[in-house]
A and B are shown apart, each in its own frame.
Chain A
Amino acid sequence: MRTVSEPQSGGPISQVKRGLALSRAYLPLTFNFAQRELKVQHKRSALGWAWSLLNPLSRVFVYSLVFGVIFRFQPPEGGSGQLNFAMYLFSGLIVWLLFESMIRGAMQWLISVGDLRRKVYFPLETVAFGGAAAVGFQAFIEALVLLAFMTAYGNVGWTLVLLPVVLLFAAMFGLGIGMVMAVFNTRYRDVENLVVILLSTTFFLVPIVYTEEIIPDEAYGLPAADLIGANPISQFVGTARDVVYFLEWPSVARLALLASYAFGSLGFGWWFLNRRSMALSEEM
């Protein structure tokens, strides 16, 4: 193993090549970070793993109660003719939870590893990808619960095979944003607080707890429905709902758009983290 280090990290192509070579060499470390994340998450808790399910389920329950029962939102008819607000909600919420965990996680992973990085060299991406794998595992379990619900209600179809793809794209999109935020957060801890506020605001600007149909076309002189519809997260949520709830195939153009969001965001985030990585280790 021969490593030559230069002050600058070279052009984009050599960076990508080096990045890929490194990610293979550091696969065991990435795996170790993933394991650690899963292990530390539920240390010293009596219910342990049950918490990973109680959290999303309680949100489904509360939102269904408030918006479905109290506000009486009528969900559109599902693919098999069902009308169920909880299922309508869950099929969109699963994407949101994944997106949110990626962004908030990325900031925490980078902070938690700062002490280590000051004493020994490893690429910072490893902790991001390791943490992402742990979050992905969590999403996998949630997806199983969602599928169990859908099966119980008889709302199943072949379109469900696209759910993993939509979730993967949403995860990549969230991770890329998370990487950028995490870099800023190592410098200014305010970023985390700011992001939490932005996330809780964005949550209500995406049709998750309500249906797209009730958004007014225009509000305060702004094209509200178009704005909300153009939001990438709305599109991820909408596509997940298409394949899980409506059991409809999304258009190829829609999938291509989601893929470009996913690769664009992750590509930029990875590049940015990599570029700032050396400076971070001196600052952290």
Chain B
Amino acid sequence: MSGAADPAIRMQGVSKSYRLVRDRPMSVKEAVVRRSQRRLVEEFWALQDIDLEVPRGSFVGLIGHNGSGKSTLLKLLSGIHRQTTGTITVDGRLSALLELGAGFHPELTGRENIYLNGAILGMSRRQMTGAVSEIVEFSGIGDFVDAPVRVYSSGMYVRLGFAIAVHVNPEILLVDEVIAVGDEDFQRKCLDHMAELRRQGVTIVLVSHDLDQVRDLCDRVAWIDRSLLVEVGDPDLVCDRYLASIHGEG
């Protein structure tokens, strides 16, 4: 068993490269016809040599420009993609809200998707039944819960996705910048709820472009720039340096 002193997340020398294949053949015929021609394969390093520890119960903000590698980092942590090198240790039940819509199947109703997501996170049907009313209540989607998810507005998608992610008793919660899609009220509600989860000891990693939010909520901030981890530390300090770098460049 792990002691309380162990970090919730530990990344050691983690790098991730994607292979960008220009004009990948989409059918067997193309693949055969193109055999002779040279295919252009480019390696793109989304993250390089990241060492990062997230202490248990902490609230860590990830900041950086678009395309700097923040979302890739969350994808590696949640296991959607696998790192090219390095080791990632995740200690605890992890729930993630990454892209718009979380893990929804468009043809299923909201309610069926709630059960599906619960099952993905390893919760039994009985455990989920208890959580359904809370999820519906929190998301505010009302009667739409029994309509197929494909008819939802983007706001409803995110609201339901967030509600599920926080109601499956996660020990570690990863949230990408998706909550920015919701309206002011809902964003406020999400932030309040994350603060509450944090009080309960949940470890949270949040990607955000709103530096005021980050200063307000987080106790540590990691700044990623062009696939490299630039700095980790006190929110005010890191945010100020980040801002200075932006103004310096501009």
Contacts and interface: CB of A to CB of B under 8 A. Distances in A.
Contacts of A282: 18, 81
B73 interface: no
Interface of A: 1-7, 25-26, 28-29, 31-32, 36, 40, 112, 115-122, 188-191, 194, 278, 281-282
Contacts of A7: 82-86
Interface residues of B, number: 47
Interface of B: 2, 18, 25-29, 31, 76, 78-93, 96, 98-99, 101-108, 112, 115-120, 122-125
B101 A119 contact: yes
B99 A119 contact: yes
B108 A119 contact: no
Contacts of A40: 107-108
Contacts of B103: 116, 119-120
Contact of A120 (B84, B93, B98, B107): B98
A89 B105 CA distance: 39
Contacts of A190: 27-29
7 contacts: A3-B79, A5-B79, A26-B122, A28-B125, A116-B105, A121-B80, A122-B120
Nearest to B101: A119
A36 B116 CA distance: 9
Contacts of B124: 28
Interface centre among A112, A121, A122 (most CB of B within 10 A): A121
B83 A188 contact: no
B119 A3 contact: no
A261 B2 CA distance: 43
Contact of B112 (A26, A36, A120, A189): A36
B102 A120 contact: yes
